[in-house]
Structure 1
C-alpha cells in the first residue's frame, strides 16, 4: 500500500459521543476500510514508538484487509485528547481527513461514568465522581487497563481545549459533527460521505439502535448537579461555538 492509492480518515473522538455508531455506519460503505481489529482501537498516534514504525507497518498491522478500498479509516477516541497525536499523524500520513464527533458534554459525562462503572473501573456514585472531576481531584488509574484516565468525566467534555492542536495541524480537513444532529437528520451521514469524496448513494442506512451503549437505564441527574455541570462547561462551550462559528445543539 502507498499514499498514492489510498486516502486516510481519522475519527478522533470524543469518547462516548457516538464514534462507534459513526464508524459502524461508515464501515458499511464499500469504499471504506475500517482498521481491524476495531477493538482495541489502533491508538498508534498516541504512542511515539508505534508511530515511529512508519506507514508500511501501520498499513500492514491495521489495514491488511483493505484491498482496493479508497478510504482507510482509523477510529481512536483517545487521539482527540493527545496534543501530540496530530503532529505524529501528519508526519506519517501527510494531509488526512479528520472527523470529530461531539455531544452535549453533560450527557457525555454521564455516559462516561456509566461506561467506567459497567467495566468495573468506577465504584463511586455518579454525583460524587462527577463533582470530584469538576474540582480536578485526581484519582489513580491503571494505564494497563485504559489508555487515558477513566475518571475525567468533566475534563474530557471541554472540547475547545482539545480541538486546537487538530485544527492547527489540519486546518482544511477537520470536520466537527454533533451526535444530536447526526441522529436527527437522515441526510447528515450521506453529506459527510460526499464531503469525504465518496459516493453518497452507496451510503448504508445507519443502525436504528445505539451502538456500544451502556447497560441499564440512565441515571436521573438532580437539577442542582445538572446546573453545576452546565456552569462548569459554560466557558468551554462558548469558546467552542466561537471556534466553529455556529451555535451548539445543546
Structure 2
C-alpha cells in the first residue's frame, strides 16, 4: 500500500479535485484505489484537527477529534493506493507535518502540492476572504498583505507575522515544509493549467503525481464548484459583511452568508465557476476581478525566486512551469474594487440574513432579498 496526501494550496482547483474523488469513490475502488469515507466532511475535519483550527471554522474540538487517526487506520487496511488530503494542510508547520505522518509510519507516502499563478491567486484569495466575512477592499489587501511580506515564518496561525496570503500561497515553502518528513523526490508540484485550458488537464496532472490511472474517473463529470463573483457582487458582499457587524456566530455565518447567500444567490446572478478552477471561469456579473497590472513587478519577482528555489531541489513537477507566470489585468483594465450595485441596500440585506438565521427557514427567502 501507499498513501498519496494532497495538501493544497488553497484556491488551486482543490474543490474540483475533492469533488471528483468523492463522486467517483466507487469507480476508484473498483480500480484498486481507495478514497476512504468516514462521514461527510471527514477529510476537512481531519485537516482542521491537525492544524488545530477548529474554532476558525466554527467547529467544536470534539467534532474533529480522532478523525485523522481514523482515516489513517482505514488507509492501512487497504492493499493499494490511498488518496487523502485537504487544502487546509497546505500551511502545516513542521510539527504538524510530523503529527500527520506519525500514524502512517512505515507506509510509503507521496505528497502533492498544487500551485497556480500568483495573479489569479491574489484575487481568488481576496474574494475568499470576503466570503469568510472580510470587509477589506482589494487595495487594502494589497497594502496590508501583498506588499507587506515579512519573510518566511510559520504564519499567523502559529503566532508568526507573515501575512496570510503569502503563508497560504508560498508553494515553494510548502514543498520545503512537507519535505521535512517526506523525501523531496516524493513531494510533487502539480501546476494548475493556465487560462483557457480544459479543467480535466488538472486531473491528468494530479493523477500522474499520484501514479494512478486517470481513466478511472470522468474528469468532466463534476458540476461547477466554488463559483467566482463579479466585482460588483464582491463590493456588495463587503458592504453586507460590514452591516452584519458580528451579529452571527461563526458557524451560522458560514452556513447562511457564505454558503447560501454568497455562493448561492450572488453567484447565481451570472455564469458561476468552472470545474477546473477554484475561482471559476465566469463571475456573477460577468465582470470577474483581475489582479491589477501594477502588481507585475512584485508578483513576477516572487515567482522568479520560487522557481529558482525549485530548480535546486528534487521535487517532481507535473505540468508546465511557464503557467506559473502571473496572469494580470492589462494597464487599462478596471481595478478589482468597484462600487456596490445601485439600488441595493446592504444594511437591509444584512438584517434579513440575521432574521433568516434566527427564524424559521423559508424557501425562497434569499431569492427575494437579492435582485437576480
Report the TM-score when normalising by structure 1.
Answer: 0.72
How many angstroms apart in 1 are the aligned matches of 2:109 and 2:144?
37
Answer yes or no: is the 8 Å Cα contact 1:190–1:203 preserved in 2: no
> Which structure ranks higher in relative contact order (CA pairs < 8 Å, sequence separation ≥ 6)?
1
For the pair 1:42 / 2:52, whether they are aligned, the reply is no
Counterpart contact for 1:159–1:240, Cα < 8 Å: no
Shift of 1:113: 0.6
CA offsets 1:182-238 (integer angstroms, 9 cap, x no match): 954856634643663544432222357642233333213332134333334442343
Q: C-alpha deviations, 1:115-162, integer Å up to 9, x for none?
A: 111221x2111122122113148xxxx98xxxx99x622342222122
How far did 1:103 drift?
0.4
Distance 1:125 1:54, change over 3 A: closer
**Pairing 1:206–2:220 present:** yes
Structure 2 residues without counterparts, runs of 5 or longer: 54-60, 151-155, 231-282, 326-372
In the alignment, is residue 16 of structure 1 matched against residue 11 of structure 2?
A: yes
Q: 2:189 aligned to 176, 192, 199, which one?
A: 176
Give the match for residue 73 of structure 1: 83
Report which of the two structures shows the higher radius of gyration computed on alpha carbons. 2
State the superposition RMSD in angstroms.
Answer: 4.0
Q: Which among 86, 89, 96 is matched to residue 85 of structure 1? A: 96
Q: Which runs of 5+ in 1 are unaligned?
A: 1-5
Aligned in 2, Cα 1:47/1:136: closer, same or farther, shift over 3 Å?
Answer: same
CA distance in 1, matches of 2:322, 2:35: 31
Report the 3-state secondary structure (helix = DSSP H, G, I; strand = E; otherwise coil) of the residue aligned with 1:206.
coil
Rate the CA distance shift 1:57–1:124 in 2: closer, same or farther, 3 A.
same
Q: Distance in 1 between matches of 2:215 and 2:302?
A: 42
Out of 99, 123, 126, the residue aligned to residue 135 of structure 2 is: 123
Aligned partners of 1:41, 1:232: CA distance in 2, in Å? 32
TM-aligned CA distance change 1:89 to 1:59, over 3 Å: closer
State whether structure 2 residue 238 is matched by structure 1 residue 225. no
- Aligned pair count reads 232
**CA shift in 2, pair 1:69/1:211, >3 Å:** farther
Partner of residue 3, structure 1: none
Give the whole-Å Cα distance in 2 for the aligned partners of 1:208 and 1:25: 6
SS in structure 2 of the partner of residue 180 of structure 1:
coil
Task: Flag the 1:157–1:104 CA change in 2: closer, same or farther, 3 A.
Answer: same
Name whichever structure is richer in helix by fraction. Answer: 2
1:81–1:156 contact (8 Å) kept in structure 2: yes
